[in-house]
């Protein structure tokens, strides 16, 4: 599968699918390839519902922005198995409920109904909001418990008492040594300034700093120490009261966990659908059709190639194709677009089976259990000592049992590294064997000697349109200019192949790419001589 | 004080070469004064922060915070400190120290700072604090070998803390001079093609292997230079060294023990002495 994904250049496109909630992102990260039509139709129904919502928000930039703002702020929910939630976990529930509620408020009835989104946790939300809190923060406020409020009042009183006593002590120290602590907890003072350290110790905690200095801090009075000790006790009581509040809140949350879990599931489903819909809108994707018939593509776009062409200022030609037979052999000259046809098919099918809409004006296909790619760029096998040809054959041998099940198999110039006669024989055998299996197998090849077999179709890229080619050069011989010229005269359409046709586009393309004219003329001469023989 | 004016409204890393160099003490001095400009966010960086908290679980790693301050800590540490915090954000990852979170102080008191194991978390938190105006100034406590990572937080100034006593006076002075030299290397984010660009560290071995015709070297930042002071000085006589990313040095916060200010100034030289912030805890 990894080779197939890489061949289709699909993963970069998948990155554009951007769910915004933790649940949506986690599902996206699995990049599940679905093989169940019912599941996919369900996902596409969701996408269509989300597209309708997206259309209704067309022009409502603030509405769309608010919706995405709240989706982005949905937190990951804590593990429901926890008996008691801590403050951070309660915060996560609260933040979830706040943003979830706002999403529900922003959606229309059709969307709410379709995705099963509803909000009925007002009382829990109000409970988590107690004590004039912000809707997106949480604090075990005094409002939860009179005992907690009492503890905090006492701590506050003690803090004030401690501070007053400390200030009194600081004042005494200032009066005796003119030491100004300000906001500092301690001071470094020359030893000479304190005089008799033993006597100073009645007001100061003294520690050696260096040979000439002491570190001093105000010595708490006996009364202050009593208050400090009492505060320690009240701080412990405060913690106990907070724990009691959190235990009570946890019970309430647990009682509503089934509802919250239903919210989470519905929201994740909506988030994924909304992300698929945004992608469909941005990339002009359409809902595919699943059937048992032939794969049929109208204006299919291999988006990486389309964007590459745009960057180079070249025309991109979408693919129209129908693959009626299990095996289809595609001929064509170099730079004629054979590989792009295979990649387009792979890309479209991956869009379908990952639940996306497809980049085409229509795409009818069936579902495949396996995906096979054989050709250049495939990950080399671990086995040492295998040549490129050896790796290809070994990969095919390993995948062969899968080809009894529905498989999309793409052979991009299979056996290109061996001699043409044996390659044609091998290719013919594979084409023939697959012609009776439940596969859609596409073979791109230059080998025109492949046998014409029942159950196999033979197509070719239409190729170079030589009309006006000679006058095409405008003097610019840069590679970019030459590529533009090839592109302008290449017809990337798939047409039925005539087994008798003699196509010599490769020599013409070589000329267009700057090969010495004498060489291309001589090559054409040899080619035509051989053809006569 | 110039360094405090520069810290107000900005992101500042407080960094030291060794344990006990006075980072926390300097923090205790700076925080009350920064609060005069608005709430302050105080963070510690990377594993160091978590490790420090894990090792001590004692008041030594606590700081005093005031209402409105913003901190990163874990739930158990928050629960056991005397400050009270409202949770503003649950942060990714759950360490052995508990749930990491961003909190705002609702009751002043003590709290232990805990850092995330992932710098990206700190970077996101600092960005959020700035974007949402949760704090006016941001202070990050972190070791010098983390400066490169702190640089990822964006425009950052830094303060170096050092403890100087009679046993290390000359060594510490050399260290500080060296640091100022490194911090003063010219910044060139996009060196020309004829400049020798080093992606790794510059140490004596790599320097010795450089072709003699290399006249200008470019390193990522000064924390990637591992040349002793003498070798750096000799190298700078023959070659220029530029850094692709600079850090704004706000000052050298020095705690002197049994050493007079003038002694240190003499050891540092006049130019470097201008950068020194003497112990703010010394009684006037």
DSSP character string of A319-372: EEEEE-SSEEEEE--TTSSHHHHHHHHHHHHHHHHTT--BSSSEEEE---SEEE
Tokens for A295?
Answer: 């794969």
For A90, nearest residue in chain B (alpha carbons)? B87
Window B:70-89, CB contacts with A under 8 Å: 75, 78-80, 82, 84-88
Instruction: Specify whether the CB–CB gap between A197 and A191 falls below 8 A.
Output: yes
Strands B11-16 and B137-141 come out as parallel
Cβ <8 Å between B283 and A180:
yes
Averaged pLDDT score across all residues of chain B:
85
Kindly state whether B192 is in contact with chain A, defined as any CB-CB distance less than 8 angstroms.
no
Averaged pLDDT score across all residues of chain A:
88
> Which pLDDT tens digit goes with each residue over A361-413?
999 999 999 998 988 755 555 455 667 777 778 788 888 888 888 999 999 88
| Position A31 confidence tier, pLDDT thresholds 50, 70, 90 | very high
Contacts of A179 in chain B (CB under 8 A): 283
Contacts of A209 in chain B (CB under 8 A): 257
What local confidence, expressed as pLDDT, does residue A297 receive?
Answer: 95
- Phi, psi dihedrals of residue A59, rounded to the nearest 5°: 90, -15
Would you say residue A533 has pLDDT above 60?
no
For A155, nearest residue in chain B (alpha carbons)? B82
Q: Which of B174, B118, B184 is nearest to B149 (CA)?
A: B118
For B31, nearest residue in chain A (alpha carbons)? A183
Cβ <8 Å between A139 and B87:
yes
Cα A472 off chain centre by:
44
What local confidence, expressed as pLDDT, does residue B58 receive?
Answer: 47
> Which pLDDT tens digit goes with each residue over A110-126?
999 999 999 999 999 99
Would you say residue A63 has pLDDT above 70?
yes
Average pLDDT (A237-258) is 94
Cβ <8 Å between A185 and B64:
yes
Write the DSSP assignment of A442-494 as a string of letters.
Answer: EEEES-TT----TTEEEEEEEEE--TTTGGG--S--SHHHHHHHHHHHEEEEE
CATH topology of domain A12-121+256-283: MutS, DNA mismatch repair protein; Chain A, domain 3 (1.10.1420)
The alpha-carbon gap from B263 to the nearest alpha carbon of chain A, in Å, equals 15
For B107, nearest residue in chain A (alpha carbons)? A156
Whole-angstrom CA distances from A178 to A164, A224, A423, B156, B284 are 19, 22, 100, 38, 9
Return the CATH number of the domain spanning residue range A289-498: 3.40.50.300
Most confident of A97-101, B159-163, B205-209: A97-101
Instruction: Specify whether the CB–CB gap between B11 and B155 falls below 8 A.
Output: yes
Question: b or e along A284-309 (b: 16 or more beta carbons within 10 Å of the residue's beta carbon)?
Answer: ebebbebeeeebbbeebbbbbbbeee
Kindly state whether B107 is in contact with chain A, defined as any CB-CB distance less than 8 angstroms.
yes
Handedness of CA B133, B135, B139, B145 (dihedral sign): negative
Q: Which of A77, A107, A112, A80 is nearest to A95 (CA)?
A: A77
The alpha-carbon gap from B253 to the nearest alpha carbon of chain A, in Å, equals 15
- Angle between helical axes of A479-489 and A303-312 (0-180°, round to 10): 120
- Mapping DSSP onto H, E and C, the string for A58-95 reads CCCHHHHHHHHHHHHCCCCCCCCCCCCCCHHHHHHHHH
Sheet hosting strand A327-331, strand order edge to edge:
A370-375, A407-412, A439-445, A327-331, A456-464, A490-496
Question: Mutating which of A26, A88, A189, A206 best tests the B interface, going by the most B Cβ atoms within 10 A?
Answer: A88
Cβ <8 Å between B75 and A86:
yes
B75 closest CB neighbour out of A87, A139, A155? A87
Cβ <8 Å between A239 and B88:
no
> Which pLDDT tens digit goes with each residue over A466-524?
766 666 566 666 777 777 777 777 778 888 888 777 666 777 778 777 788 788 788 87
What local confidence, expressed as pLDDT, does residue B48 receive?
Answer: 47
> Which pLDDT tens digit goes with each residue over B31-87?
998 999 999 999 987 544 445 555 554 444 678 899 999 999 998 889 888 999 999
Average pLDDT (A354-364) is 96
Cβ neighbours of residue A298 under 8 Å, at least 6 residues apart?
Answer: A320, A360, A361, A362, A363
What local confidence, expressed as pLDDT, does residue B175 receive?
Answer: 85
Q: What is the pTM of this model?
A: 0.83
Kindly state whether B139 is in contact with chain A, defined as any CB-CB distance less than 8 angstroms.
no
Cβ <8 Å between A188 and B85:
no
Report the range of poorest mean pLDDT among A82-86, A98-102, B95-99. B95-99
> Which pLDDT tens digit goes with each residue over B20-31?
788 888 888 899
Kindly state whether B36 is in contact with chain A, defined as any CB-CB distance less than 8 angstroms.
no
- Residues of chain A whose beta carbon is less than 8 angstroms from a beta carbon of chain B are 75-76, 86-89, 91-92, 95, 133-134, 136-139, 152, 155-156, 179-180, 182-190, 193, 209-213, 215, 231, 235, 239, 242
Cβ <8 Å between A187 and B32:
no
Question: Mutating which of B86, B109, B168, B282 best tests the A interface, going by the most A Cβ atoms within 10 A?
Answer: B86
| Position B92 confidence tier, pLDDT thresholds 50, 70, 90 | confident
Contacts of B82 in chain A (CB under 8 A): 231, 235
What local confidence, expressed as pLDDT, does residue B224 receive?
Answer: 84
Window B:260-279, CB contacts with A under 8 Å: 279
CA A506, CA A464: separation in Å to the nearest integer?
Answer: 9
Neighbour tally for B219: CB within 10 Å: 23
For B34, nearest residue in chain A (alpha carbons)? A183
| ipTM of the predicted assembly exceeds 0.95 | no
Contacts of A133 in chain B (CB under 8 A): 86
> Which pLDDT tens digit goes with each residue over B203-251?
899 988 888 888 899 998 888 888 888 888 889 988 999 999 887 888 8
Cβ <8 Å between A88 and B90:
yes
């Amino acid at each position: 599968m990894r080779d197939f994904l890489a061949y289709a250049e699909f993963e970069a496109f998948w990155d554009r699918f951007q769910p915004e909630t933790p649940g949506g992102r986690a599902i996206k990260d699995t990049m599940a390839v679905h093989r169940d039509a019912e599941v996919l139709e369900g996902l596409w129904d969701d996408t269509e519902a989300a597209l309708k919502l997206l259309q209704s928000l067309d022009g409502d930039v603030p509405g769309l922005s608010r919706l995405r703002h709240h989706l982005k702020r949905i937190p990951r929910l804590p593990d429901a198995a926890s008996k008691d939630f801590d403050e951070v976990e309660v915060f996560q529930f609260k933040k979830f409920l706040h943003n979830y509620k706002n999403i529900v408020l922003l959606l229309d009835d059709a969307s709410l109904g379709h995705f099963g989104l509803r909000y009925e946790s007002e009382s829990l939300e109000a409970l988590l909001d107690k004590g004039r809190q912000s809707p997106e923060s949480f604090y075990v406020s005094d409002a939860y418990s009179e005992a907690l409020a009492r503890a905090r009042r006492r701590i506050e009183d003690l803090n004030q008492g401690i501070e007053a006593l400390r200030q009194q002590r600081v004042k005494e120290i200032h009066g005796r040594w003119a030491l100004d602590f300000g906001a500092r907890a301690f001071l470094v003072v020359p030893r000479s300034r304190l005089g008799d350290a033993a006597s100073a110790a009645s007001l100061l905690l003294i520690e050696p700093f260096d040979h000439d200095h002491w570190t001093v801090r105000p010595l708490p009075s006996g009364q202050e120490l009593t208050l400090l000790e009492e505060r320690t006790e009240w701080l412990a009581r405060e913690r106990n009261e907070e724990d009691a509040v959190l235990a009570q809140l946890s019970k309430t949350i647990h009682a509503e966990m089934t509802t919250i879990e239903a919210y989470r599931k519905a929201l994740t489903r909506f988030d994924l659908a909304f992300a698929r819909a945004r992608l469909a809108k941005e990339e002009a994707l359409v809902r595919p059709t699943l059937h048992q018939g032939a794969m049929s593509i109208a204006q299919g776009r291999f988006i990486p190639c389309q964007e590459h062409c745009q960057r180079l200022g070249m025309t991109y030609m979408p693919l129209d194709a129908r693959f009626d037979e299990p095996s289809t052999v595609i001929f064509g000259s170099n730079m004629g677009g054979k590989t792009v046809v295979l990649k387009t098919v792979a890309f479209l099918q991956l869009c379908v089976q990952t639940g996306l809409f497809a980049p085409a004006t229509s795409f009818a296909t069936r579902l495949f259990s396996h995906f096979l790619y054989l050709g250049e760029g495939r990950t080399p096998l671990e086995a040492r000592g295998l040549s490129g040809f050896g790796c290809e054959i070994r990969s095919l041998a390993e995948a062969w049992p899968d080809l009894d099940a529905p498989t999309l198999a793409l052979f991009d110039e299979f056996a290109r590294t061996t001699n043409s006669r044996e390659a044609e024989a091998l290719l013919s055998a594979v084409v023939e064997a697959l012609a009776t299996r439940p596969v859609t197998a596409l073979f791109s090849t230059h080998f025109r000697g492949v046998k014409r077999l029942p159950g196999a179709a033979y197509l070719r890229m239409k190729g170079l349109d030589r009309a006006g080619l000679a006058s095409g050069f405008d003097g610019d011989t840069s590679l970019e200019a030459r590529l533009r010229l090839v592109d302008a005269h290449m017809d990337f359409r798939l047409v039925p192949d005539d087994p008798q046709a003699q196509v010599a586009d490769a020599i013409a393309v070589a000329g267009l790419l700057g090969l010495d004219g004498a060489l291309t003329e001589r090559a054409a001469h040899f080619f035509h001589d051989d053809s006569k023989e | 004080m110039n360094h405090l004016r520069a810290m107000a409204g900005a992101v500042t890393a407080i960094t030291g070469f060794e344990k006990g160099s006075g980072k926390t003490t300097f923090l205790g001095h700076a925080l009350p004064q920064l609060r005069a400009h608005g709430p302050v966010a105080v963070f510690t960086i990377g594993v160091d922060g978590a490790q420090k908290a894990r090792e001590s679980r004692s008041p030594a790693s606590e700081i005093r915070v005031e209402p409105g301050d913003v901190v990163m800590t874990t739930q158990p540490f928050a629960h056991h400190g005397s400050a009270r915090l409202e949770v503003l954000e649950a942060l990714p990852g759950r360490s052995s120290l508990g749930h990491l979170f961003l909190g705002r102080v609702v009751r002043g008191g003590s709290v232990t700072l805990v850092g995330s194991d992932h710098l990206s978390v700190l970077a996101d938190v600092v960005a959020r604090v700035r974007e949402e105006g949760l704090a006016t100034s941001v202070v990050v406590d972190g070791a010098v070998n983390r400066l490169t990572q702190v640089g990822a937080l964006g425009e950052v100034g830094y303060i170096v803390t050092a403890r100087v006593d009679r046993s290390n006076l000359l060594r510490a002075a050399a260290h500080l001079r060296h640091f100022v030299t490194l911090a003063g290397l010219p910044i060139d984010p996009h060196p020309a093609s004829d400049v020798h660009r080093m992606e790794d560290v510059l140490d004596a071995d790599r320097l010795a292997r450089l072709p003699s015709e290399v006249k200008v070297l470019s390193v990522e930042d000064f924390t990637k230079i591992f040349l002793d002071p003498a070798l750096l000085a000799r190298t700078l006589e023959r070659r220029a060294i530029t850094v692709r990313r600079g850090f704004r040095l706000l000052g050298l916060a020095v705690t002197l023990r049994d050493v007079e200010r003038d002694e240190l100034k003499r050891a540092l030289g006049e130019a470097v002495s201008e950068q020194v912030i003497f112990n703010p805890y010394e009684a006037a």
